[in-house]
Chain A
Amino acid sequence: MQKSIVYTVRNYVKGDEVALAKIFSECFEPTTPRRTLEWHRTQGVRPEDIFVGVVDGKLVSSLELVFKQLHHGEGVYPKTAGISGVCTDSDYRCKGLVSNLMKTALEKSRQNGLSNASLYTGVDIPAHRIYERLGFVDVITWRSYVKYLDYPYLFGVWLRYLNRSLKDSKVAARKLKGWEKSVAIRLKDVGTLSFRFRKNHFERLAKPSRRVDIEFSTDLETYVKIRRNVVQWEDAVTSRKLTVTKGELPDIEIFKRILHWRWDE
């Protein structure tokens, strides 16, 4: 059983953006305190709309309210409390912090006269279950359309993103410790994309190393759908859309985590 911790919920105060940017970087994508403030400014988020969880004086969890008016039909636009930026430092997860932050923010919204709240999240992440327990209902998922004009360039962007994310992700750093492998991805109509992970750093390789640890071939569409978690790796292998030519199972498991950048159990 998880040990309960003592924590406080309060509103944002000036200077919190430094800690907020650090948690955002770990949970979403690399960001800076300046960009965090810029986001709050453009969305009209006031300090009293930002709720943070503090443990021993350290900011470890956060969420914010973004108020919008949504069309409910017949030209009627009730106000909604949009929940945004829900995140927790990986060392403080599964301790009920987010549930309590959410309850506080929703109660505050109710007291301020709002009849409803809404949010965007992933269907396959633990937070989705928390939201369901708090009374949120799935309304709709959606489709996306992508046209790649220069995928090798984006591959480089992705590796840079991985390196930035690794700096802020303690769980990823722990899991990747000692995992020094190279990967070759043969993509139909794109070419071979290759990288290695060494000394806590993802490095792009111009050509696959001679002793490549993981090697597989597939088409761009399947690869993109696996990365987005729409198609499961195993299903792609079974349907022969993806062929693994080299790779031990434990290494492939780690590589799949890198692909999705999902490190929680």
Chain B
Amino acid sequence: MEFKVRAASRQDIERMLQLYISFTKNFVGSAARTPKSFVRMLRKKDNINYVALDSQNRMVGYVHATREKRNNTGEFREIVVDPKHDSEQVASLLVEKVTADFDKRKVAAIVAGSLRNPVYESIFPKLGFIESESMGVFMYAILDAQKLLSELEPVFANRLKGAEGWNGLAQIQCDEHSLFLEKTTEKVQQIVWTNQPVDFKVMLSGAILVKLIFGVTDPLECRKSGQLKVEATVGEARVVKLLERLFPRSQFLIMDFW
């Protein structure tokens, strides 16, 4: 499909936000956004913002880059493409356009980071960028395990809903705090207390829960190493399926640093 690129304007904000939401849905770690963030993005004269349009002038992606005047450097802040148009070179088109703009502005260096552009990182080495590990790390701490488990209830309920062929009571126990979810054919609901036996119980530490939430470790590996324990009334194959269902590997993405 043919795509064209034009500079972004304030009229594009609503669609940009929609694209951001549908794009980040596939990742964990990304921050919630409001139209205000996009207003700020488009306000600065030094920023470079382009949108990619399909043949019917529908926006399918956008790129946001900033210029740091003091060091005369340019930075790719985010590249967002409608997941429906993945693998159609939309991101490459946007990156090339911004790189050409930076060239024209005679910046001394152009920077991009994998946390903001995880899907499109392969584009940069092709354009002559030097790839380097960063010595930075994102860290996360649980302050209130019970509250976090409650906040994550819709996440686990939704995932259990898709566990076909299994109904019963599941328990996720993290550092003496538990979340109970009862799955029936019709729905999955949180149980505050019950004396009925649990059918599927996962026991893990806060540190492992963090790594599993953000999809940076494998639940089966954790179980093998004893960092995650399971007590279940179902067979091994079902245990594996349920663990993979509850803790899928996902890609981490941060668009907003603080």
Interface residues in chain A, defined as those with a beta carbon under 8 Å from any beta carbon in chain B: 42-43, 66, 68-78, 80-82, 84, 106, 109-110, 113-124, 128, 131, 134-151, 153-154, 157, 220-221, 224-225, 228-230
Asked whether, in the complex, the Cβ of B109 is within 8 Å of the Cβ of A135, the reply is no
Give the residues in chain A near B32, CB-CB below 8 Å.
68-71, 77
Asked whether, in the complex, the Cβ of A142 is within 8 Å of the Cβ of B129, the reply is no
Q: Is the interface of A mostly helix, strand, loop or mixed?
A: mixed
Q: How large is the interface on B (under 10, 10 to 19, 20 to 34, 35 or more residues)?
A: 35 or more
CB of B163, distance to nearest CB on chain A (Å): 14
Asked whether, in the complex, the Cβ of A76 is within 8 Å of the Cβ of B135, the reply is no
Q: What are the 3 tightest A-B residue pairs by CB atom distance, in nearest-first order?
A: A115-B148, A145-B124, A145-B129
Asked whether, in the complex, the Cβ of A122 is within 8 Å of the Cβ of B136, the reply is yes
Asked whether, in the complex, the Cβ of B131 is within 8 Å of the Cβ of A139, the reply is no
Q: Is the interface of B mostly helix, strand, loop or mixed?
A: mixed
The answer to whether residues A120 and B136 also contact, given A43-B258, A145-B121 and a CB cut-off of 8 A, is yes
Asked whether, in the complex, the Cβ of A74 is within 8 Å of the Cβ of B129, the reply is no
Asked whether, in the complex, the Cβ of A118 is within 8 Å of the Cβ of B143, the reply is no
Asked whether, in the complex, the Cβ of B131 is within 8 Å of the Cβ of A110, the reply is no
Asked whether, in the complex, the Cβ of B152 is within 8 Å of the Cβ of A78, the reply is yes
Give the residues in chain B near A80, CB-CB below 8 Å.
140
> What are 28 A-B contacts with C-beta separation under 8 Å?
A70-B28, A70-B30, A71-B31, A73-B250, A76-B155, A78-B152, A82-B258, A109-B143, A110-B144, A118-B139, A119-B139, A120-B139, A122-B136, A122-B137, A123-B135, A139-B137, A141-B138, A142-B134, A143-B131, A143-B132, A145-B113, A145-B131, A146-B130, A147-B128, A148-B108, A150-B108, A220-B130, A230-B134
How many Å lie between the Cα of A120 and that of B30 in the bound state?
A: 14
Asked whether, in the complex, the Cβ of B133 is within 8 Å of the Cβ of A69, the reply is no
How many Å lie between the Cα of A19 and that of B124 in the bound state?
A: 40
Asked whether, in the complex, the Cβ of B151 is within 8 Å of the Cβ of A115, the reply is yes
Which chain B residue has the least Cβ–Cβ distance from A227?
Answer: B132
